[in-house]
Structure 1
Amino acid sequence: MTMPFFRFLLLLFLVFGPGVAGAQTPEKPFQAPSLENENAWTLVLFPDTQSYVKFQRNQPILDLMVHWVVDQIEALQVALVLHVGDLVEHNALQVPDGSIADQTGKEQWEAVSRSLGKFDQLVPFIATTGNHDFGIKNVENRVSYYDRYFPVEKNRFTRGMLRDHGLDEQGMPTLINAGYEFLSPDGEKFLILVIEFAPRDASLEWAIELVNREVYADHRVIVLNHSYLDRDSQFIETEGYPISDRNYGKAVWEKLIKPSKNIELVFSGHIGEPDNPEGHVGFRTDTNAAGRKVHQMTFNAQALGGGWHGNGGDGWLRLLEFNGLEVTVKTYSPLFAISPATRHLAWGTGAYETFTFRLDP
């Protein structure tokens, strides 16, 4: 259903050229991001940050991205910051070889917790977990240190928003499966549902029960699920990770999202192709059991800026401006924008980088 729409957007771009507000052209000087409507608000979406923290040299780029968002909280009415998972490259690496990383797993977790901790007293921050947030190097098991470095007490806003949590594989409370209630600046009620990487059946059962509670019947539900769409905007059916009891994108759609009546947005990451922005993204719109549109977006950037072991992703962020039912998506790099020599590169101008969709009434 979605691909013709996505190709239509691409055709418009090829015919009419880039038209992103703020994009620099010879006739038009660079413009920093601004709200198109003064009554709108912004959701900032972070891609996989793993490659920013696995090398010490890349960590200042993540700091720059975070500081830029902090500086825009008032100007862009930033009310919510979300992360699509793979906060780190290695959950428990002990001996970095300098090639795949020069930081241990502990150092990577400390770095990402410290950088993203700048939001803790300023704006709600919520993340899901990716495959690299588990195991030793890459989900060899279901053990994650996420809760240690992002505990419920960390962010004062999300602590008050937390409504429920699931259990990890050991049966202990965890924020890798969690539900947060969010009231937007324009009074819209949201439930943000975080589910673990390739969720277990028990995790999906918990999520289904949560979104079907009567108290959330009038909420728009946002799902954060790391591995969901591929670069062709198709549901990921399976992957070769050594874990059992797993559900990837297609199964998550069929078991949780499609049968729901109030899930309307899904954000994910995970995919990438060296130095190819289009290989890091996906978008599709389907309908759930209630006939309501479900907009599903994959956004990543980790292999931009030099491939898998480059600078971590060229500083790219997604800015979603909510203006009533209309959501305008823009892709922007504070890293490129910081210098007059590179700011002409700071806006993503492809049809897959800037577009608009509408929520159902």
Structure 2
Amino acid sequence: MPARLRLTSLALVALVAACGDNAPALVPATASATGSTTASSTEGNTPTSTTKPDDGTTAPDQPVTTTAASTGDEPGTSGDGPGTTGDETGTTGETDTEDEPLLPGCGDTPPADFHAEPSAPAEGAAVPGPSVDLEVTIGGTILADATAKFHLREVHTLTDADDFTIVILPDTQNYTQFPGNFPQYPAQTQWVWDHRNTDNIVAVLHNGDVVQHGNIEEIEWERAQTAMSTLEKTGTKFPDGIPYGIAVGNHDNGASFHDDVPNSTTLFNKYFGVKRFEDRAYYGGHYGNKNDNNWILVRAGNLDIVMVSLEYRGDLGQDPDVLAWARGVFEDHPHALGIVNSHHIVKANGDFSAEGKQIYDVMKKIDNVQLMTSGHIKQFRARRTDNYMGHKIHSMLADYQDLILPGEGCAGGCGYMRIWRFSPKKNQVKVETYSPSLDKSMTSDKEQFTLALDLSAATGVFEVVGQAAGPGAALAHTVSDLKPGATYEWYAIVKECGAKVTTPTRTFTVE
């Protein structure tokens, strides 16, 4: 899928008018969102959560929460916090419910019994090629013409060459506040640039609290800009620099007592606002007219990765409209690896913060969101794994801002950052904690561990290969130029009178 897809307003209106599509409006890659996106679901029964001392690998029909937390002033020290419990809610149905007019003859509401299944070629079939007809059979109440959009990908064999890395920068406020600590910050970004090829680094995420005094000391933002500008150097592989996203922390927006202009992001947007990113291909967009909530999209081999950064809101709580917008971004990329970056998701004992719970309650219903990362809590590291109806999300806290190591002559965090090393072949991510300034790693099981993920989408990227529309019980599209001996997977999104169904994925091989 192209990273720089653009839709004009007229084209979008025409699409809605033609298809009766009530799906949430989404921001295409490199286009800025100018409003909120809403999404709704029907709540089901309320399962329970339990605490277990493992990584959260459980039976798919039992929602489970597991927690691993640690604290300590020195690398390697730890202390486990209590587990968590909580009430979780499920979703049923796949019908969008926005208040847009339906097509003539559709009635007042989308048909609840509308359904669609892939009918040809059969699962696992061998087709002669070089073309094949993809067909879906639809049923239920059909009040008007249905449309089917067909998605296809070639399935590739994964190797170690598909491995990639994402770097996480915890709170940098004590680097930007104190000149003596500052060199550790550009040392982090320089390490990223120097290792961009050897480690196949595809992105950087900053957990927020870039500075200490968000709207008071502009020099702190100038220092942050100096450090982050290293990532903006260009090369053949990175024509727009190394992709990065930043979450707004409580010190960045002056939340509570941290500033004389509470909840303002004037300086954040001056230095890391929309204008800084809008022409970069990896930049997906933002909510509203500021960059306080933003997202980026990168590709690692055949895997798309969507990373949404959400602003710290503290006592105000996360804005439901922003969470609906974020949900829409992830749902617009259903086969991408989804990552949430926000300043305060996990507490020191491994529990969710209030904001973290709000975020999780939305993200647990989105299958492709698998990782959430946060900082905020001084000198703590913690993690948890939540399994909701078979959907697992790993959430992590890392923040070294008050770490002082006199023997190493460092303070303010000593340059420690997180390195996420992904292996699609093994369906896992290995998390490391490393300081470029000290050239040392923390190696306790709280700082170095491996998590299981579903990275099967790395075997190939689904592309839209065509669509069909019309009355009747079947819709088909012919795909040409298939490769002999190749294996393909496909699915279709079928819509009719506001109802939307995503068919199961089917596989075929070309003879």
Instruction: Answer yes or no: same fold by TM over 0.5.
Output: yes
Match of residue 369, structure 2, among 260, 263, 275: 263
1-structure distance, mates of 2:416, 2:193 = 15
Relative to structure 1, the CA distance from residue 295 to residue 77 in structure 2 (aligned partners, 3 Å threshold; closer, same or farther) is same
Q: What does 1:1-361 align with in structure 2 at a 5 Å threshold?
A: 4-5=53-54, 37=160, 39-93=162-216, 105-121=217-233, 122-135=241-254, 138=258, 141-144=262-265, 145-154=267-276, 159-167=280-288, 173-184=289-300, 186-198=301-313, 199-213=318-332, 216-237=333-354, 248-254=355-361, 256-273=362-379, 280-288=380-388, 291-305=390-404, 311-324=411-424, 325-337=427-439, 346-360=440-454, 361=456
Instruction: Answer whether contact 1:45 1:81 (CA < 8 A) is retained.
Output: yes
Higher helix proportion: 1
Deviations 1:243-276 (A, max 9, x none): xxxxx1122222x212222211111111114xxx
Deviations 1:8-64 (A, max 9, x none): 989xxxxxx99xxxxxxxxxxxxxxxxx95542111111100010101111111122
SS in 1 for 2:308: strand
2-structure distance, mates of 1:91, 1:190 = 30
Question: Counterpart amino acid of 1:63?
Answer: P
Relative to structure 1, the CA distance from residue 80 to residue 221 in structure 2 (aligned partners, 3 Å threshold; closer, same or farther) is same
Deviations 1:287-328 (A, max 9, x none): 346x22111111111011169xx7210110111111112111
- Number of matched pairs: 290
Q: Which residue of 2 aligns with 1:28?
A: none
1-structure distance, mates of 2:230, 2:420 = 20
Q: Which residue of 2 aligns with 1:99?
A: none
Q: TM-score, normalised by structure 1?
A: 0.74
Instruction: Answer whether contact 1:267 1:296 (CA < 8 A) is retained.
Output: yes
1-structure distance, mates of 2:329, 2:363 = 12
Question: Counterpart amino acid of 1:272?
Answer: K
Question: Counterpart amino acid of 1:250?
Answer: K
**CA shift at 1:160, angstroms?**
1.2
Relative to structure 1, the CA distance from residue 8 to residue 231 in structure 2 (aligned partners, 3 Å threshold; closer, same or farther) is closer
Question: Counterpart amino acid of 1:359?
Answer: L
2-structure distance, mates of 1:154, 1:191 = 19
1-structure distance, mates of 2:304, 2:192 = 23
**CA shift at 1:3, angstroms?**
5.7
Relative to structure 1, the CA distance from residue 359 to residue 54 in structure 2 (aligned partners, 3 Å threshold; closer, same or farther) is same
2-structure distance, mates of 1:8, 1:62 = 30
- The gaps in structure 2 that reach 5 residues or longer are 1-49, 56-65, 70-75, 78-158, 234-240, 457-511
Instruction: Answer whether contact 2:51 2:67 (CA < 8 A) is retained.
Output: no
Instruction: Answer whether contact 1:3 1:284 (CA < 8 A) is retained.
Output: no
Instruction: Answer whether contact 1:261 1:288 (CA < 8 A) is retained.
Output: no
Coordinate RMSD, CA, aligned: 2.7
2-structure distance, mates of 1:190, 1:226 = 20
Identity %: 28
2-structure distance, mates of 1:3, 1:106 = 46
- The gaps in structure 1 that reach 5 residues or longer are 11-16, 19-35, 94-104, 168-172, 238-247, 274-279, 338-345
Q: TM-score, normalised by structure 2?
A: 0.53
Question: Counterpart amino acid of 2:231?
Answer: F
Which protein has the larger Cα radius of gyration, Structure 1 or Structure 2? 2
Question: Counterpart amino acid of 2:435?
Answer: S
**CA shift at 1:205, angstroms?**
2.6
Relative to structure 1, the CA distance from residue 81 to residue 142 in structure 2 (aligned partners, 3 Å threshold; closer, same or farther) is same
**CA shift at 1:79, angstroms?**
1.4
1-structure distance, mates of 2:277, 2:67 = 41
Relative to structure 1, the CA distance from residue 155 to residue 204 in structure 2 (aligned partners, 3 Å threshold; closer, same or farther) is closer
2-structure distance, mates of 1:44, 1:75 = 14
Instruction: Answer whether contact 2:67 2:385 (CA < 8 A) is retained.
Output: no
SS in 1 for 2:402: coil
SS in 1 for 2:276: coil
Instruction: Answer whether contact 1:152 1:159 (CA < 8 A) is retained.
Output: no
Relative contact order, higher structure (CA 8 A, sep 6+): 2
SS in 1 for 2:226: helix
2-structure distance, mates of 1:64, 1:218 = 34
SS in 2 for 1:59: coil
